[in-house]
């Protein structure tokens, strides 16, 4: 039986988020501690636990068929790799930072400066577009310390909350790119594995749709029903059911998470009562 091989980061937050979305897709993985490979119990899938920076080459060589990986890693090491799906988690940005005490007005201030980074290709491309030449020091590991020990005038690194920069007395001055986890596909994937990939994508899309929406139930007086329905975006149109109490109806609909509070405020002002909000596990559209 054909099994699709997926690479995920060996450890860290991306590892946890990757395994969570596979679990939410109903894929059960037998993974013991320190295993480098595991098999799904109920789906034709094998998981390879790899170093993030090695995954693009494994995809390119066809050692794995697909991977959950940070988009920033593909920009740096795998621009030829196809992205099948953006996964809306493990978001970060790749940014330039300088010491807080440094004067910085624009990217031109980095001309001739020393920049420490583990993303040399990303930095070179960005600086070239800005017409800036700088000296790059390629470091694998913690680059934040480089300005403090006199190795560099600036750094390029991944930024999530910015707390690491703050602790190292640095300030973010340029966002070069924004990144999130993506589902990447090997150029050597077989036709059989492409069929399995379609099933995985369908499940992932259903999970992501669920995460992006909330299920809402509310009570509405019938004389305000039209106004309340007009506020609800819904999938097509909300479900309206009569309540036991005369003159009232129950309205069921779906609201996008990113506009949730604004819509709820409008619903209350329009006369909605007893608003109940539920998470959506999966949403098949």
Q: Is residue 238 a part of any domain in this protein?
A: yes
Nearest Cα neighbor of 267 from 223, 198, 218, 222 is: 218
pLDDT digits (tens, 9 = 90+) for 240-249: 999 999 999 9
Inside any domain, residue 243: yes
pTM, two decimals, is: 0.85
* Domain-embedded: residue 284: no
E strand intervals along 15-80: 29-30, 37-40, 45-50, 66-70
150: domain range? 92-179
- 76 and 188 assigned to the same domain: yes
* C-alpha–C-alpha distance, residues 123 and 274, integer Å: 53
How many beta carbons lie within 10 A of that of residue 69, not counting itself? Answer: 30
What was the pLDDT predicted at 149? 86
Is 147 inside any structural domain?
yes
Please tell me whether residues 167 and 150 are part of one structural domain: yes
Average pLDDT, the chain: 91
3-state secondary structure of 172: strand
Say if residue 150 is in the same domain as residue 125: yes
User: In which band, very low, low, confident or very high, does the pLDDT at 33 lie, cut at 50, 70 and 90?
Assistant: low
Tell me the CATH number at 135.
3.40.190.10
Please tell me the distance from the alpha carbon of residue 230 to that of residue 154, in angstroms, as a whole number: 52
* pLDDT(154) > 90: yes
- Based on the structure, what is the number of domains in the chain? 3
Give the tens place of pLDDT for each residue, 93-145: 999 999 999 999 999 999 999 999 999 999 999 999 999 999 999 988 788 88
- Mean pLDDT computed over 18-23: 94
pLDDT tens across 201-240, in order? Answer: 999 999 999 999 999 999 999 999 999 998 887 566 788 9
The answer on 205 and 77 residing in a single domain is yes
What's the confidence (pLDDT) of residue 145?
A: 87
**Helix 191-211 vs helix 13-24: crossing angle, to nearest 10:** 100
Identify the three-state secondary structure at position 77.
helix
pLDDT in tens, 155-205: 999 898 888 888 899 999 999 999 999 999 999 999 999 999 999 999 999
């Amino acid at each position: 039986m054909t099994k699709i091989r997926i690479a995920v980061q060996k450890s860290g937050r991306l590892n946890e988020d990757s395994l969570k979305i596979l679990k939410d897709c109903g894929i059960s993985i037998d993974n013991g501690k320190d295993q480098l490979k595991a098999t799904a119990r109920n789906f034709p899938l094998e998981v390879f636990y790899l170093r993030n920076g090695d995954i693009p080459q494994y995809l390119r060589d066809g050692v794995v068929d697909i991977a959950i990986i940070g988009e920033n890693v593909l920009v740096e090491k795998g621009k030829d790799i196809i992205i099948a799906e953006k996964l809306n988690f493990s978001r970060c940005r790749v940014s330039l930072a300088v010491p807080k005490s440094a004067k910085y007005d624009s990217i031109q201030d980095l001309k001739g400066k020393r920049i420490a980074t583990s993303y040399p290709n990303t930095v070179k491309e960005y600086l070239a577009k800005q017409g800036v030449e700088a000296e790059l020091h390629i470091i694998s590991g913690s680059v934040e310390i480089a300005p403090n020990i006199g190795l560099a005038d600036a750094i390029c690194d991944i930024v999530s909350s910015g707390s690491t920069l703050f602790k190292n007395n640095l300030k973010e001055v340029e966002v070069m790119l924004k990144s999130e986890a993506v589902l990447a596909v090997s150029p050597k994937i077989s036709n059989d594995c492409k069929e399995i990939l379609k099933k995985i994508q369908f499940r992932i899309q259903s999970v992501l749709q669920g995460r992006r929406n909330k299920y809402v139930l509310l009570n509405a007086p019938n004389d305000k029903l039209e106004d309340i329905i007009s506020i609800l975006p819904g999938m097509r149109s909300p479900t309206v059911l009569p309540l036991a109490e005369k003159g009232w109806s129950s309205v069921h609909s779906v609201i996008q998470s990113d506009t949730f509070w604004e819509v709820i405020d409008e619903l209350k002002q329009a006369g909605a009562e007893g608003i109940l909000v539920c998470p959506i596990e999966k949403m098949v559209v």
